[in-house]
Structure formats: structure tokens, C-alpha cells
Structure 1
């Protein structure tokens, strides 16, 4: 059954960070906006458990209730259709599986997936929030100055913790209301060692500080403050880690915002005056169409690619997606901090390290340092270390010295992913993905490890090379650039407002339009750019 076409002014597709940034910009300008979203939500059992936990103090939490929101390895191992996915509150709802209306075909590598959830991948992100550095966006058709007012606008509703002067000097927070979250004993002692060698480390291009996270550690009128329960990596019971779903709920209080979940967008058609959106309802597969003056597409890089390629001629249905690849080094400290496994602490990234060394890369290398957590212990128990970890002495003296460094490379030094829309004989389409690993990226990772090793006496820690993990492109979920902005767009490039020449009123606003993907995390920049595009596009349309 075909739903009758509706006429609206502005439509935003998706509810992830980019989409919500655009909605926020439009609402601020007094523009009515309709949001189309699949909008998958957390299952009822976990939702009820979270409501119970959120109303209680930590000492009141029952183990039975906590178990319902705890990650179960069997859940992920039993869902091979998820690819590389992180569970949230013990659920895989944030990642689309084999029943997704977007048919993904992995030709080479299966290191990533897509989200059709309300809030998108912000339900499972690491919450690190950093802007770009001007020197890292020289290939962009816009400047850092163009983004700065929009970083500030995003910082008004996305929380962030304070990182200290060393990080702030090269990567400002753009926020006037940041706050601190207590460090673990491991992180405090490492930070002390780093500070004692600050000048020497700076000269070698190593900057450091407390992590900057999108966490409302102090709580608000609706949520209790952080109680350092250590469940950050599997889902905060108080929902203090930012998700764009939180902002969506706030925006729905405005009469300007209409939210239509259960809509999967398939393609668009454009004219000089309107955009026609075609899709189907996820509940009964009935089709719908909506006519809009302007459309802002922020569905996430894979769903966005599927929509755009389905809306282009057959000869233009292949693009290359960029990636900021990540790597992991276990870090072994020379001495153990006063440490107990039961210490109350947050388990998100404790410290940041930015490596600015032209001999390695002209771009910043971003490193996030994690300390002990139940998540880390569970991962170690799945390795050969499970036997010695049964001994108390080993756990206290080994785990107390072990931290994890998760690093990110700029997309210029990372692998990539080819995307192609393929039609079958029955008319159905699949989005084919093929990973292109990079030997250069691996070499960069080894050189970064060597720099950390040769700085070991100053850091009072060394990387454990045998424990290096370097997943395929896409696994970081810091991907984009499939329809990059350009001052003179050709082919699949877009203009500075995210528009392809075939679709002058369709604005792509998510990471798909980034000309390059920074190592310094992606979400803050994606949101600022989406806010910029929506603000500028709204000015093109009369009130």
C-alpha cells in the first residue's frame, strides 16, 4: 500500500549525531523539521532494568537487575551477522543484523556494520570528543575558522569533561561549562610521571592530559551524578554518556519537530524546487513518499551511501570510503600504582596523548589510554593469560601495571573501503563493501609503537608489541569521505554544503562529506559540520 505523499519544508534523515546537530540548527532558526528514522530502540527488559537502576543509588542495585544489562559473550558470538559490533546494555540493538532492510554484501573483510537505532552509533561510542586541528584539514574546502562557531554551538548541548592546558593548547574544547571526572589510581600515577617529564615530552611531540569525554559526570535534574560504578564500556546505568537520542528527546518538546520512526528511506528524486523521498515502513513494508523543500541526509555512512547511490545513474554507483584506522597496544608500567580490582572508577578513556611528530606523520596521532576494568579482564581471560590470572599475586602485580593504548591514524595513512551498489536479476540491490588494508598504515603503527618504546623512561611505561592489535579498515567506526566536499566538485564529490550536482536540494551532512577523517576522533567535527551546513542551507530558503 502506498502512503499518500506529504509536503514538508525540511526533512532530516536519521537520528545520529549529524542528524541531531542539523535538527538543532534548524530549530534554533525557527524552522519546522520532520525527522525520518528507523529508530530501533533498546529491548523492553533492558529498558525496564535501566529505569529501576536510574532511580536507585549504587548500593541499592541488585545483581539480578545488573545481569540483565551486562554483556554476554554468547550474544555477540551467536550473532555472526553483526560483524564487528559492540554491545550496549547487553543488547545488540544498536547494530543492524541480517534482518536489516539495508542488504550489505561483504566481499572482502567484515570489520564493521551500520546502525538503524534511535541515536545511531552514539549509543555505543567511546564518548571521546575532540575537534580538528587546522593543520590536519588543509585538504578541506572550508577552514577551522568556518567550523569554530559550530563547535561552540554543539558544545552548548553536548557535555564534555576537562582535559587540561596541554591538550587544550592544541585542541580547544570550545565549551565554557566543562567539568572534571575523577581519574583512577593507575591514571593518576601515570599522569604524574608524564608531568614530571612534560618539557622533554613536548619537545619530542608528545602532548598529554586527562581525557575529554562527552559525559555528564555531575548529572542533571533528570539523572544522578556519576557514581564511578565502572560500567562505562558496557552502558552507563544512569545514561550519563551522551547519545544523540538524549538530544532528540529534548528537541521533541518543541512544536517545530516532528519525529517519524519506523521509516526506512530507499532513494530520492530531485528537481530544482523539491526533493521526493521514497521509502517503506519497517513494520509492514508499505511504501511512502514525502516531498520536501530541502533534505538533510545524516543516516550514517553506509545507509547514506545506499540512499545516494540508489539515487544516482548506474555508472556512478561506486565510491571509496575513507577510514581512520585504530590500533591497540597493551602498555606495561614500570611500577604498579596502589591498586585494587574493586577500586571505584570510571572505565572510559582515562588519559589522552597526542603525537605531533612529522617524522611519523604530518597529522596528529591520537591515543586514548584505558586502565583496569571488568571489560579488560574479560578480554584477557579469553587469551592464554586466563591460567596465570587465577593467581592473586599475578592479578595484583600484572593487571595493576597494565593499561591499554588505543590509537587512531589520519585517513591519509589508513586503509579504505570500496562501496558499490549492485543490482540483482530480481531488481533487489545490495551495498557491496570491500576493505583495502594498507601496508603504510601498519608501518605507521609500528613506528608509533617504537616512539612509545624509546620514550619509555619518560613515560615510565612501554608498549607490549606482541599484544598489538590492528583491525581492518572500518573497525574503528571513524569512517567517511565517500562523498567528500570540494570547492570544485567533480564525480562523487559534493560542494561545501554537501550537495551533489544531481541533487541540488539534498544536503549530505554526516561523515560521508568529510574530505579526510581526522585521528582526533570524528563525532565532534561531524556534528559541527552538519550544524554549519544546516545553518547555511536554511538561509537559502525563505521563511
Structure 2
């Protein structure tokens, strides 16, 4: 049993928040969070607060314009524009965490967040567990994970409803139910119920979204995808704000952690203060690294005495797929149209009986970004009647394939500036083509299209570049026993052989990345690791190189 210990936590995103949540429940545990701490600009925060103080009828158009500013269309048929939150790019702003990262065209280089709250400040809020069968291949079982899924869902609000998805992916916690669904979603669900047996026989299950937001308070103002003015969508920043009010939690901002290590029975984090440039060291009994899958990977590669010359990260690759329906709904931009614009329904395609190999497509109703994605010829004023008819029929799906059916992300480190993080080359391995499973997914969706009136526009399927799904990890995966050849693995407590006081707790330790949603499992696994330290299940062994598993 851990008693009166000190702990360092690197990062403030979902995994770091889950660690701090577990540790700080014990008043005798002292927690210090080391974070870059990027924040929304004051003028945008002020505009958001003014909108939140009233209802949409009282909104100042100037404030609304500030918080809904979007990126310009990319002009690339294969690029998904970088998302904004309250009109800001601050979750992606480089404060040193991505400097020196490069890759071929199409590679996502915004792979680590400097924001307080990490990428949960700009995510899509989908929450589902991994299937039980996933854990049959891990050194961590479903029974190990389930109580930590529940502990996280006691902190994270869950909006969803029991449906066919629960057969493989149980809700695990009370839900608030979703707000009223948009007309396109309601039509698809009605058709699914009428043809449920046939659609499922053809390999597709339809269900409502599972979302981390306070749905009971939603007024359907339509700003979900640009940033909820009422902050109803969960962010790890909300948890960190609550925890930092506890007397045993300190959050230190403007710190870039550049090295980690261990001296005797003390874990060490070497940081650079972004305001002064000065370097300092923090020591504690344990160190938990939750800088995100790529952020943690980079930090570890720069800290190991003999890092691997290259490694591969598992990614659940993303594809974007528009759907058209023959039966139109009312114009989603009409004066009476009010909707929430997060993911509303999911298409699940299982390729076995145990829910191991699946593809999942998150389907979205209209939001203003749809206009940016229309061909230029349809964005002009003269084309308004045509674009109106397109928008009355259009849904957009963001789909995912499991990591074992997706190309990996190759990571090649290079020496960086003295004392700083290493530089990284990222990308898919040479010769990477379109995954075979994607073809099977598209064939199934086409087979059920007449029953759902949801026709995949196969000529406009785009496969996102390396790292763009943000569902990646596995650079130092949990493994049974000896890590073996290739990249080093971690024990079930996220420890590399070099260190027994340092725990990796984010996506970097996941043995695989299924197609279903990612963040809930990252948080539950981080909570499991931290809880194991408190209960003594993760003992220490000062003979470095033989961490106890």
C-alpha cells in the first residue's frame, strides 16, 4: 500500500486527469502536475462567457462571429481541415511539443497538444469501451478494466441510450439520454427498426451516439463543433480544475518536460520554463507520463540511454465518407432548425462474432463546416438552390478501422537541440496502400443503403493521412513478460525495463487500437495504473532492468 508518497504527472489531458483523479482521492498522496498549460485567448474566452450568460436570442453577432471562426477550406480533396474551438487553434499551437516533427505530405504533424486539457478541448466527445474480446489479447483483462471504466464514467458525463450497440459495448453507467435527434438521424433509425433483421444479417448494426456531455442542459444551439458556449461537452480541463482545488494537488503551467529518468528510488523530470527559458528538475516517488501517445513517445525516445532507432505506432486509421439520401429533410439552415451537431448515430460493422475486428462510422448531421466541403461551384450565391437540396440530403461519416487492419505510423527519432526533445520523422511505411478492410466496409454499406436510405458516395471516400485519426499509440505496449525484440514494451503498469518508478499511462501503452472510440479506454487504463500504485499492486524493484510485472 502506497503511503504518504509524492507523484509527478506530466500533462493535463484525459490520461493525466484520470491519474490525478485516482491519486488525489487519498489525502496523504501529494500530486504535482507539470503542464504546458496553453489556454484560450482572453478575448475569445470573454466572448464565450457573454454568450453563455444568455440564450441564443440575446447573442451579440460580433461575439458569435468570434467563437465560430473556422479555417479556410484546404483545397485538398484528402485533407480534413484542422478543427477550431471557440475560433481558436490553441489546442494545436506549438509551444515546443511538436517542434522538429516532420513527415511527407498528408502526414498530420499536430500530434501533441499544448492545451490545458489536451485534445479533449477539441474532441468529438465519443465514449465507448473496447469490446471484451479486445482484452483477451492484452495482458490486462476486461475484469481488470471494468471497475476503472465505471470510475471514469462517474467523473465524465455520459449521454446515450440502450440499443443494439450495447450487445458488444455495454453502457457501464447511468446515462442522461441524448437531446432530440435531427430529422436525418431519426429517419435512419426508423428505417433501421423496420429492417433491423435484414440490415444486421448484412453485417451492419445501427445505434445512437454515446457522448461525453451534459445532455440534459443542451439547448441545441448548433455550436457543438465550434465549441459549446455553455461548456457542456466534457474536457479533461474540467476535471483538472476541480482537482486542483484539493490541498494535495498542484498544477504548474508553462513547463515543457524534456527528459525523464530515475536516480535511486526517485523519479526525475527535467523541464524548461517557457516564460524564462530556465531549466529545472522535479523529483518524486513516482512519475506518471500522460503527454499523449506521440508526446510521451517523443519524451521517452529522448530519455532512454539506448533508444530504438525507429519504432511503429498502431493507429486506427480514419476515413471520411459522405452519404446522400433520396428522401430530403427540411433545410438544416432554416429559421426553425435547431440541432446539436455532435455525432448522432453510429454504424458498426463487425467482422467476427466476438466484436474484435470491427469498423465504426460516426455519422454527423449538418454543421456549417459542410458548406466549406462542398465543391466551389456549389458555394456561390447563384448555386444556393442546388446547395440547399444537397444539404437536405447530406450526412457525413467519420469512419475508423482497427489498428491491425490499418497501416502503422513509423516514427524515426533524430537528435534535437542540446537538452531538448529529439526531432521526429513520421509517416506511413513505403508502399502503404488502401486497407483491404476498407473495401469490405464500403461493400457492406452499399448493400444496406436501400434499407437505410443512406447511400455512401464512393467516389468521395478519403483516407486520412498518418496520425490524423488521433487514435494512435502502442509505441511501448503492455506486454506479457519479456518485451522481446523490436521496440521495448511496458509491463501492465506502464513501466519500461529501465525504470520502475516511471509509468507511461496514455495511448503509448495500448497493445492495440480498435475502431471504436479511444479516449474512454485511455482514461480507464490510466486510472487502473494509478490505482495499482496506491494499492501496492505495482511494486518497485530497485534493480533497474527488472521491473516487477
Structure-2-length-normalised TM-score: 0.90
Q: Which residue of 1 aligns with 2:440?
A: 447
Q: State which of 527, 530, 545 in structure 2 corresponds to 1:534.
A: 530
Deviations 1:249-296 (A, max 9, x none): 111221121111111111112144111111111111101101110011
Give the direction of change, closer, same or farther, for the CA distance of 1:352–1:451 in structure 2 (3 Å limit): same
Q: State which of 168, 182, 185 in structure 1 corresponds to 2:183.
A: 185
Give the direction of change, closer, same or farther, for the CA distance of 1:397–1:136 in structure 2 (3 Å limit): same
Q: Distance in 1 between matches of 2:330 and 2:421?
A: 57
Aligned pairs for 1:4-23 within 5 A: 9-23=6-20
Q: Which residue of 2 aligns with 1:289?
A: 281
**Residue 55 (1) aligns with residue 53 (2):** yes
Residue 34 of structure 1 and its aligned partner are, at CA, apart by 0.9
Q: Which residue of 1 aligns with 2:116?
A: 118
Aligned pairs for 1:169-184 within 5 A: 169-184=167-182
Q: Distance in 1 between matches of 2:402 and 2:230?
A: 33
Residue 384 of structure 1 and its aligned partner are, at CA, apart by 4.2
Q: Distance in 2 between matches of 1:83 and 1:448?
A: 20
- Maintained 8 Å contact 1:160/1:178: yes
**Residue 46 (1) aligns with residue 44 (2):** yes
Which shows bigger deviation, 262-271 or 151-160?
Answer: 262-271
- Maintained 8 Å contact 1:41/1:93: yes
Residue 315 of structure 1 and its aligned partner are, at CA, apart by 4.5
Q: Which residue of 1 aligns with 2:542?
A: none
- Structure 2's unaligned 5+ residue stretches are 540-549
Q: State which of 512, 517, 528 in structure 1 corresponds to 2:513.
A: 517
After superposition, the CA RMSD in angstroms is: 2.5
Q: Which residue of 2 aligns with 1:256?
A: 248
Q: Which residue of 2 aligns with 1:352?
A: 346
Q: State which of 152, 166, 187 in structure 1 corresponds to 2:150.
A: 152
What is the SS of the residue equivalent to 1:73? coil
- Maintained 8 Å contact 1:38/1:116: yes
Deviations 1:87-146 (A, max 9, x none): 11111100133x525423313343241201100000111111110002233321111121
Q: Which residue of 2 aligns with 1:26?
A: 23
Q: State which of 136, 139, 158 in structure 2 corresponds to 1:138.
A: 136
- Maintained 8 Å contact 1:321/1:479: yes
- Structure 1's unaligned 5+ residue stretches are 1-6, 219-224
Residue 314 of structure 1 and its aligned partner are, at CA, apart by 3.6
Q: Which residue of 1 aligns with 2:405?
A: 413
Q: Distance in 1 between matches of 2:348 and 2:133?
A: 14
Give the direction of change, closer, same or farther, for the CA distance of 1:425–1:470 in structure 2 (3 Å limit): closer
Structure-1-length-normalised TM-score: 0.91
Deviations 1:59-80 (A, max 9, x none): 1111101111122325x979xx
- Maintained 8 Å contact 2:23/2:534: yes
- Maintained 8 Å contact 1:321/1:481: yes
Deviations 1:347-371 (A, max 9, x none): 1111011111249x95121111111
- Maintained 8 Å contact 2:205/2:347: yes
Q: Which residue of 1 aligns with 2:368?
A: 374
Q: Which residue of 2 aligns with 1:3?
A: none
What is the SS of the residue equivalent to 1:449? helix
Q: Distance in 2 between matches of 1:96 and 1:425?
A: 20
- Maintained 8 Å contact 1:414/1:473: no
Aligned pairs for 1:385-534 within 5 A: 385-387=378-380, 390-423=382-415, 429-436=421-428, 439=432, 441-490=434-483, 491-534=487-530
